Amino acid sequence: MGKISLLHPMAVEPEYQVLPEETMHDLGLQELCEKVSQSRLERTILERTISRITGNAEVIAYRLDVFEDILNDQDMREELQELLDKVNFMKEYASFQKEQDGSGIWQLVHRLHEMDEYIQCIEEIYHCLDKENIRSEGLISLRNYVKKIYDEDGYAALKKDISEMKVKTADIKSLTLGVNLNSSLEPTALGVVSINKKAFTGSGLLSNLSEFLGRDQKQKDTEWNDNYHFHAADGDSKGMKAPDAVFHPSMAVVPNTGQGNDVVQSLNTAMSNLLISTTKQLKETMSKHTALQIRTIAELIPELLFYVRFAEYTEELRSKGFRLSKAEVRNDDARVMEAEELYNIRLTAHDANEVIGNSLGFDDENRIYILTGANRGGKTTITQAVGQLYVLAQAGLYVPAEKFVFTPVDTVLTHFPADENKTLDLGRLGEESKRFREIYRLATGNSLFLLNESFSTTSFEEGYFIARDVVKAISLLGANTIYNTHMHKLSMDAEEINSEGNGHNLVSGLIAETEEGKRSYRIRKGVTEGNSYARDIAAKYGVTFEQLCVFDRK
């Protein structure tokens, strides 16, 4: 059987671009993952999955169908949730993600428990997906994959072997240890005297030691009441006879570290020697079933977690009245986007009735938008929202919009204001210029550019000159772009910029509207209104000339 994944069809191995950390931050995607899960480990899985973006339309459609199945079946989600809660080692990639020789008894017993959880996974997934309403290729393939494992003779044998081995290891409740000491009471050798079916009880180690040291009664030899014998280590336990044929007592020399810090490692060696036949049986059980797809099932757990967590979050937002819908992916080179009633998912912190949706599209006539308008009128919010739509849809998730039809992009690149600490060496303009050059080199005509007040930290003349050249370069490249700015002249000169190009990938004006001087948080195509209502903001905070001059300074 080939390797199966819920993130891409078995016959497709997609190429991924990892979104820059700045993009994840600028679009609020790390913040989104924090809302979806409170677990640090789970957030790491969610962020890793979202940030690895693919432009393969077949892969994206595959993911969208898997997510739709999981979202629409609450019973299945609950069953998968129970599975995720139980199977911890697979979420953490445990030993299946590490190269281990399994030579120690502890590693083998740990592996035994992992294989038992693997069996639980097969059982749970088998019953969970035994439904007729599953339509996605991904879940149908997983169902067939698990059913084939479930019906194999090897699986039944594994289940039987693991069950028997668990019974044997479950009987071990305590160990009786023998420790050789030097004159300073430092451990020099360690051995296992007996394996017990009952746990020790009673006072603590120090009180026991103090009690025995206070007595003038010390064992004259190493014989114990239960007739177990304490054997000195001779480097070879072959031929030793013990009361139980399974157990071959031996000694492990404690390295001379002065503190006996390697006692646990020595105990592991002693235990492995002592339980040599049990260890051998465990190894045989493991190797006999290595052909089973344990690693594949382990790798599916983070994928299931990704879908289940976002499905639960999507259902939560819908219950609060927010619109989220399945995107429609186009498999062509048109580089189009058609979004209706889109909004920024960060606005779900507000009441759903207060969130205003907008409609927007990309095509050859509207490839680059110069977005202008009033301060605090929603320019940054809508810029972020467009980036969120692409990233979420291409991850296979529902998007914050009533409708979203799009050609996938190969990456999303953001150019937002930088932290002041990052601009100390080059200055703000130098840092912005260097950073844009770096992301431009990463872009293709299939990329998405989102620029937020770029090159506005210098004088208008200098900023405009740079911004105009940047827009012309993006137009030549052909990438979908939103550039929100206070440089209204850039929007006014859209026709002139277009005339200097090749007639394709045209620049359009986009305005954050105002109604009777108030911000509506709606956008529309059109010529800029020519101001940013800075005076309105100045009046709001009392810093107009008239307001400042009325202070009574007495």
Q: Out of 142-146, 208-212, 363-367, pick the least confident.
A: 208-212
pLDDT computed for residue 471 by the predictor? 94
Give the start-to-end residue ranges of the domains of the chain. Answer: 17-170+286-305, 174-277, 321-548
The C-alpha atoms of residue 93 and residue 117 are separated, in whole angstroms, by 13
Whole-number pLDDT of residue 292: 53
At residue 527, the pLDDT reads: 72
* pLDDT recorded at residue 149: 85
Q: Which residue has the higher pLDDT, 35 or 539?
A: 35
| Pairwise pLDDT comparison (172 vs 430), residue with the higher score | 430
Contacts of 407 (CB under 8 A, 6+ apart): 57, 329, 330, 332, 333, 334, 335, 336, 337, 446
Most confident option among 87-101, 315-329, 511-525: 315-329
Confidence of residue 232 (pLDDT cuts 50, 70, 90): very low
Query: Nearest to residue 169, comparing CAs of 265, 61, 291, 282?
Result: 282
The 10s digit of each residue's pLDDT in 62-82 is 999 999 999 999 999 999 998
Q: What are the pLDDT digits (tens) for 256-281? A: 554 444 555 666 666 666 566 666 76
pLDDT of residue 212: 57
Which pLDDT value is given to residue 218?
Answer: 54
Is the pLDDT at 228 greater than 80, yes or no?
Answer: no
The arithmetic mean of pLDDT across residues 135-160, rounded, is: 87
Q: What is the pLDDT of residues 148-198, one digit of tens each?
A: 888 877 778 778 877 777 666 666 777 777 778 888 777 777 666 777 778
| pLDDT value at residue 426 | 54
Task: Report the CATH superfamily, name and number, of domain 321-548.
Answer: P-loop containing nucleotide triphosphate hydrolases (3.40.50.300)
- Per the DSSP assignment, residues forming a β-bridge with 399 are 325
Could you report the per-residue pLDDT of 453-502, keeping only the tens digit for each? 898 876 777 888 889 999 999 999 999 999 999 888 899 999 999 998 77
5-15 pLDDT, tens digit each: 999 999 898 99
Q: How confident is the model at residue 288 (pLDDT cuts 50, 70, 90)?
A: low
Q: At residue 427, does pLDDT exceed 80?
A: no
> Mean pLDDT of all residues in the chain?
80
pLDDT, one tens digit per residue, over 102-130 is 456 666 667 777 778 888 888 889 999 98
Query: How many angstroms separate the CA atoms of 89 and 106, rounded?
Result: 16
pLDDT value at residue 117: 80
**Which amino acid, one-letter code, is at 279?**
T
Q: What percentage of the chain has pLDDT greater than the value 90?
A: 44
What DSSP assignment string belongs to 311-378?
Answer: HHHHHHHHHTT---B--EE--SS---EEEEEE--GGGGGS-GGGPPPEEEEEBTTBSEEEEEE-TTSS
Alpha helices, DSSP H, located in 129-234 = 137-151, 153-170, 205-214
Whether 446 has a pLDDT exceeding 50, the answer reads yes
pLDDT at residue 289 in the model: 59
State the Cα–Cα distance between residues 52 and 485, nearest whole angstrom. 29
pTM of this prediction?
0.77
pLDDT at position 79 is 93
